[in-house]
Amino acid sequence: MRLWLQGRPGVSKIFISYRRKDSLAIAGRLFERLEAPFGKGSVFMDIDTIRPGQDFRTVLSDAVAGAAVVLAVIGEGWLSARDERGKRLDDPDDFVRIELETAISRAIPTIPLLIVPTSMPRAADMPRSMALLSHLNAVAIDPGRDFNVHIERVIRHLEENIGLIATDSVDNVQYSLSLRAAQKNENLEDYAAAINNYTKAIKASPNKVTGYEGRAYCYEKIDCFAEAEGDWARVVALEPTRISKRGEFYEKSGQLEKAVVDYAEGIRLNPKDGNLYESRARILARRGDNTAAIRDLNAGISIVDDIFYKSRMLSDRAAIHLAMGDARAAVRDLTAAIPLAEKATAVSKEARGYMWRDLAKIYASQRDYSRAVKTLEEKRAREGLLGYEEDMIEEWKKKRSRWWK
């Protein structure tokens, strides 16, 4: 999949390379955010418009060749993406591979955008023709609260180093200036000033969601939840696919019933987004509806390719199984989650530690002290133990001895 920004004659182009399953939502937000400083009507979104009979490799290569810069959006599932033929990047006909091979071979400036908490893929894990990508200076993009701050850095680079030309539209200039001022205010936690500047941006361009979304976040920060809810309603009216973001607002503000409704609609609009099932499962579990929560986690686990999210969902499902008294299922989930967590660089050492300890505690609760001890000893060999974990091993060894007697 690809989105590319095409300006009027004389205006440079930005080609955004991404994987649909890995980063569609982020690519869409990036597309909109880049449109603001470069003018209304200057952005063209191209999705699956290759005509029958056309050689898609030639079409993609030509599109990239006409770009001034390529932005490679890389999430946790970018490198590991697979289809029925195996690893996507190993396929010479993979769209992303064609795009980036073309950019590299033609020396087109290419900027990797790493979606937090993704790490830069190693050269050894990519085709030789793409190995240069691992040595390019990357920009981290936080999909959460710092998204606008990080995108602002990308925009400055495109203007100062790539030479993209901003629009001459007065409304768009006002929108862009107000939006930047608001984001700087927000970064400094001056939420009153940020709200004022977001309001100016909204007046300049009332049909763009970024201003409403930014102002909603600021209202949340100062506990003005009614105002935030009003802005989220406008966001959803302009862009219905953003409804899951309003669900996050409802969840954070304790309006769980409304959050479930929004997550459900988000799933209807995008049934292949496994993270939405995880979000709804989280609320269902809080309400004590464990069966429904398990059902959602099953769906999420079956959909996501990203091992970071898959390991997290397996761990969450293990906790629910344990709460339901199904220790065997909990053990099964944790033993599946731990190897994935060890491979996913985004999983913190602390999170992995919880998984190891939970597994060991389940064994101990079943008086299987040998497996409990073995589990923590394996953790010790792989990443070390905390002091109290050493104490747990000694305690279980004593209980094991008494049990054998």
Is 6's pLDDT higher than 80? Answer: no
Domain boundary among 162, 182, 205: 162
For 181-208, the pLDDT digits (tens) are 898 899 899 999 999 999 999 998 888 8
For 51-78, the pLDDT digits (tens) are 777 777 787 788 788 788 899 999 988 9
In this structure, are 134 and 178 located in the same domain? no
User: ∠213-116-258 over CA atoms, to 5°?
Assistant: 40
In this structure, are 140 and 183 located in the same domain? no
Residue 116 lies in a domain: yes
Cα–Cα nearest to 221, from 199, 184, 258, 194? 194
CA distances (Å), origin 243, targets 230, 267, 270: 13, 10, 11
Confidence of residue 22 (pLDDT cuts 50, 70, 90): confident
Structure-token pair, residue 138? 């990357």
Between 125-139, 156-170, 318-332, 363-377, the lowest mean confidence (pLDDT) is in: 156-170
Domain boundary among 201, 217, 238: 238
CA distances (Å), origin 324, targets 293, 330, 336, 355: 12, 10, 19, 18
Confidence of residue 363 (pLDDT cuts 50, 70, 90): very high
- Give the CATH number of the domain where residue 219 resides: 1.25.40.10
Q: For the chain, what is the mean pLDDT?
A: 86
Is 261's pLDDT higher than 70? Answer: yes
In this structure, are 113 and 213 located in the same domain? no
In this structure, are 55 and 141 located in the same domain? yes
Could you tell me where the DSSP H helices lie in 120-190? 147-157, 170-187
* Distance separating alpha carbons of residues 154 and 113, to the nearest angstrom: 9
Q: What is the pLDDT of residue 25?
A: 82
Percent of the chain with pLDDT over 90: 47
Is 14's pLDDT higher than 70? Answer: yes
Domain boundary among 205, 238, 271: 238
CA distances (Å), origin 183, targets 96, 188, 194, 323: 32, 9, 7, 43
Residue 308 lies in a domain: no
Looking only at Cα atoms, what is the longest distance across the chain? Answer: 86
Confidence of residue 50 (pLDDT cuts 50, 70, 90): low
In this structure, are 116 and 209 located in the same domain? no
CA dihedral 196, 200, 201, 202 (to 10 degrees): 100
* Distance separating alpha carbons of residues 65 and 59, to the nearest angstrom: 10
Residue 107 lies in a domain: yes
* Distance separating alpha carbons of residues 363 and 366, to the nearest angstrom: 5
37 vs 185, more confident = 185
Confidence of residue 115 (pLDDT cuts 50, 70, 90): very high
Range 84-111 average pLDDT: 90
299 vs 163, more confident = 299
In this structure, are 28 and 152 located in the same domain? yes
Confidence of residue 45 (pLDDT cuts 50, 70, 90): low
* Distance separating alpha carbons of residues 69 and 295, to the nearest angstrom: 43
In this structure, are 190 and 44 located in the same domain? no
How many other C-beta atoms can be found within 10 angstroms of the C-beta atom of residue 376? 24
Is 257's pLDDT higher than 80? Answer: yes
Residue 376 lies in a domain: no
Q: Which domain holds residue 209?
A: 169-238
In this structure, are 8 and 156 located in the same domain? yes
In this structure, are 73 and 196 located in the same domain? no
Structurally, the chain folds into a number of domains equal to 2
Residue 108 lies in a domain: yes
Is 233's pLDDT higher than 90? Answer: yes
In this structure, are 197 and 49 located in the same domain? no
For 295-345, the pLDDT digits (tens) are 999 999 998 888 888 999 999 999 999 999 999 999 999 999 999 998 877
The DSSP secondary structure of 295-342, one letter per residue, reads HHHHHHHHH---HHHHHHHHHHHHHHHHHTT-HHHHHHHHHHHHHHHH
pLDDT winner (highest mean) among 13-17, 29-33, 256-260: 256-260
316 vs 153, more confident = 316
* Distance separating alpha carbons of residues 94 and 60, to the nearest angstrom: 11
In this structure, are 94 and 212 located in the same domain? no
Range 122-149 average pLDDT: 87
What interhelical angle do 387-404 and 369-383 show, nearest 10?
150
